[in-house]
Amino acid sequence: MDAGSYPLLEGIDDPAHLRELPEHQLPRLATQLREFLLESVARSGGHLAAGLGAVELTIALHYILQTPHDRLVWDVGHQCYPHKILTGRRGVIGRIRRSDGPAGFPSRQESDYDTFGVGHSSTAISAALGMALAARAQGSRRKTCAVIGDGGLTAGEAFEALNHAGDVRPDLLVVLNDNEMSISENVGALNRTFARMLSGGLYGNLREEGKRVLEQMPAPMREFAKRAEEHVKGMLVPGTFFEELGFQYFGPVDGHDVGELVRVLRRLRALEGPRLLHVVTRKGKGYPRAEANPIAYHGVKAFDPAAGLGSGGGSGPPTYTEVFGRWLCDMAELEPRLWGITPAMREGSGLVEFARRFPGRYLDTGIAEQHAVTLAGGLACEGARPVLAIYSTFLQRGYDQLIHDIALQNLPVLFALDRAGLVGADGPTHHGAFDLSYLRCLPNMTVMVPADENECRQMLYTGHLHKGPAAVRYPRGRGPGVTPSGPMTPLAIGRAEVRRHGSGLALLAFGSMVAPAEAVAEALDATVVNMRFVKPLDRDTVLAMAAEHPALVTLEENVIGGGAGSAILETLAAAGVQRPVLQLGLPDRFVGHGERDELLTAVGLDAPGIEQRIRQWRRQYVEAPE
């Protein structure tokens, strides 16, 4: 930040300083905060459009709420960069999501102002409700506020929390930040109702007419008239939906009018009971390129704000996501029963082309992973061949549905699990660290892990043909660069592939670990097996490797606990085979944020780290056992 270019912002090291500003300076502060945010994220990369849209709201919330004494809980938290800038992290925001910088989402260990750790959506109201009930039980007068977006409101947990709050009636303020966007265009009937009412002529005219009339009123009447206007507007938009849930509904309010927000929030803070303030904002506000294309500017790499984002479509081999997206379209051409489903991640999961070409078989459920899983099951019951594209970490949201609705009924649903393993900048809330453990323990599941992009395509095809539930898990970004080619041929279920023969020891590698295993094989005189299937495991190959080698090493980009290596240990134990086995994988802790390669090195899953750990272990436990 060039000294002096943001004079108001530079004077704010915490919200107490903000609250010393006279109200009339807040619009100028908003301008500086927005410009600083754009300049910073254009350099660092990260989430941009949501934060641009939340600048005035963030200022008003910290201006009126006595944070951190009053609790402010953000939903998802990707819009929290203005919040972090105003709460003492202006100096480090330029390193956001780097291993030496702040997390990309609110994090309790990072700041007292980050009252609840988020990253997965739709948790804020539940957490805030818990905090509000605790305040009531403690006889505290502190206030609790949750800020949730219209996308966040498409998830079941948000409704569960609203329904419960309306019943137990805490002192809780929910702010709905409605910009009609999720990452892509928001979906859902409630969203459609909002959009219809807020864009409707009647509401728009009333708001403009109301402003004109108010301006001509003497000041004392203006406050009363404002309230009257709010209630009249409240009758035009689905406030009743929230009032049926026990909330007092206020708004809609212009989410970029910081004075209006301060006035309304000041009133609402003084009230008690469940209140919902409906705020209308524009995602990407203040940066025309982001306003025009909020999808592209939801999450960005470093870019030049003057030129905007690059043309995209990087050169080089396709990413795993692109391999999946192309396979899905190719397969949909051949198989009319194929459906593509995403829980609000069309772009991230590679479904843009599929959605364009096969709109009748494309479903975006909104942020509703539980529903998406069971929906796929219903389709499968009727002979459809659904493919659920879902991040590994987000499938955690639909785990009971996976067990109860899909695996138990042995329904042919294919799960394309993207972002498996360490994702990098998004950190522990988004790493796909657990899916091999949580999938392989389920009866009827087939779990495949491709070593490269071509194998990914073959596995997707194999899973599609399979008569029961199947999952293919692949990492964020690119693999070893084996571009898919040739016809799709199904793999033999449960068969591994021996890539290299050695005599020293056998490296039994899964997915992204095959490449580094091959890189160290010669130095270790090791056999390398591309295991391909975590379930069903290739038992014959495992036992043969144990018979032919003095020791085994398993390698996986999943937690060791209950993962693929554990499946191998179970196989050896069941066969009464005793062999030294070293399990390499993710540690039994949450791995932080940073560049993916940097994190893999930090947990010893890059080639040098793998070689070093094997040599050390072999010396200690194989060559000179006590």
Residues 6+ apart with CB under 8 A from 209: none
Least gap, CB of 484 to ligand DXP (angstroms):
21
Least gap, CB of 435 to ligand DXP (angstroms):
15
176-213 in b/e form (b: 16+ CB < 10 A) is: bbbbbbbbbebbbebbeebeebbeeeebeeebeebeee
Q: Which does 15 bind (CB under 5 to 8 A by kind): Mg ion, ligand TPP, ligand DXP, none?
A: none
> Of the ranges 7-15, 34-42, 173-181, 307-315, which one interacts with Mg ion (CB under 5 A)?
173-181
Question: Could you say whether residue 98 binds ligand TPP (CB under 6 A)?
Answer: no
Asked if 71 and 145 touch (Cβ cutoff 8 Å), the reply is yes
Say how far apart CA 527 and CA 290 lie, in whole Å. Answer: 51
Nearer to ligand TPP, 369 or 606 (CB): 369
Q: Which does 419 bind (CB under 5 to 8 A by kind): ligand DXP, Mg ion, ligand TPP, none?
A: ligand DXP
Question: Could you say whether residue 151 binds ligand TPP (CB under 6 A)?
Answer: yes
Least gap, CB of 245 to Mg ion (angstroms):
20
Residue with tokens 């290739």: 538
- Token digits for 224? 């009363």
User: Interaction with ligand TPP in 23-52: which residues (CB under 6 A)?
Assistant: 50
570-579, Cβ contacts within 8 angstroms, sequence gap of 24 or more: 571/537, 571/539, 571/542, 571/543, 572/542, 572/543, 572/546, 575/539, 575/543, 577/543, 577/546, 577/547, 579/546, 579/549, 579/550, 579/551, 579/552
Q: Which does 426 bind (CB under 5 to 8 A by kind): ligand DXP, Mg ion, ligand TPP, none?
A: ligand DXP
Q: Which does 79 bind (CB under 5 to 8 A by kind): Mg ion, ligand TPP, ligand DXP, none?
A: ligand TPP
Q: Is 152 annotated as a binding residue?
A: yes
Q: Residues 314-353 vs ligand TPP: string with x where CB under 6 A?
A: ------------------------------x---------
Question: Could you say whether residue 181 binds ligand TPP (CB under 6 A)?
Answer: yes
Least gap, CB of 391 to ligand TPP (angstroms):
7
Nearer to ligand DXP, 12 or 183 (CB): 183
Nearer to Mg ion, 294 or 511 (CB): 294
274 — phi, psi (to 5°)?
A: -70, 120
Asked if 229 and 263 touch (Cβ cutoff 8 Å), the reply is no
Question: Could you say whether residue 294 binds Mg ion (CB under 5 A)?
Answer: no
Residue with tokens 């739709």: 122
Q: Is 604 annotated as a binding residue?
A: no
CB atoms within 10 A of CB 588: 8
Q: Out of 115, 126, 182, 319, point to the residue binding ligand TPP (CB under 6 A).
A: 182
Least gap, CB of 177 to ligand TPP (angstroms):
6
Say how far apart CA 358 and CA 369 lie, in whole Å. Answer: 21
By annotation, the residues acting in catalysis are: 283, 369, 397
Question: Could you say whether residue 348 binds Mg ion (CB under 5 A)?
Answer: no
Nearer to Mg ion, 186 or 393 (CB): 186
Nearer to Mg ion, 151 or 350 (CB): 151
Q: Is 121 annotated as a binding residue?
A: yes
Q: Residues 121-150 vs ligand TPP: string with x where CB under 6 A?
A: x---------------------------xx
Question: Is the bond leading into 536 cis (omega within 30 degrees of zero)?
Answer: yes
Asked if 494 and 532 touch (Cβ cutoff 8 Å), the reply is no
Where on the chain is the footprint of ligand DXP (CB under 6 A)? Answer: 76, 78, 183, 298-299, 348, 419, 423, 426, 476
Residue with CB nearest ligand DXP?
348
Asked if 96 and 46 touch (Cβ cutoff 8 Å), the reply is yes
CA distances to 176, 453, 525, 617 from 625, in Å: 62, 40, 20, 10
Q: Is 150 annotated as a binding residue?
A: yes
Say how far apart CA 100 and CA 112 lie, in whole Å. Answer: 19
Q: Is 78 annotated as a binding residue?
A: yes
HEC assignment per residue over 210-245:
HHHHHHCCCHHHHHHHHHHHHHHHHHHCCHHHHHHC
Q: What is the DSSP secondary structure assignment for residue 403, as one 8-state letter?
A: I
| Total residues binding ligand TPP (CB under 6 A) | 22
Question: Could you say whether residue 426 binds Mg ion (CB under 5 A)?
Answer: no
Provide the 3-class DSSP secondary structure of residue 317: coil
Residue 282 buriedness (CB in 10 A; 0-12 / 13-18 / 19+) = middle
Least gap, CB of 303 to ligand DXP (angstroms):
15
**In 172-305, which ranges are continuous DSSP H helix?**
189-199, 201-215, 219-236, 239-244, 258-270, 288-292
User: Interaction with Mg ion in 127-166: which residues (CB under 5 A)?
Assistant: 149-151
Considering only the C-alpha atoms of the chain, give the largest distance between any 2 of them, rounded to a whole number of Å: 93
Q: What is the DSSP secondary structure assignment for residue 9, as one 8-state letter?
A: H
| H-run or E-run covering 611 | helix 607-618
Q: Out of 367, 459, 509, 514, point to the residue binding ligand TPP (CB under 6 A).
A: 367
Binding site for Mg ion (CB under 5 A): 149-151, 179, 181
Annotation: binding site for thiamine diphosphate? 78, 119-121, 151-152, 179, 287, 369
Residues annotated in a binding site for Mg(2+): 150, 179
Binding residues vs ligand TPP (CB under 6 A)? 50, 53, 76, 78-79, 120-121, 149-152, 177, 179, 181-183, 283, 344, 367, 369, 394, 397
Annotated binding residues, written as ranges, equal 78, 119-121, 150-152, 179, 287, 369
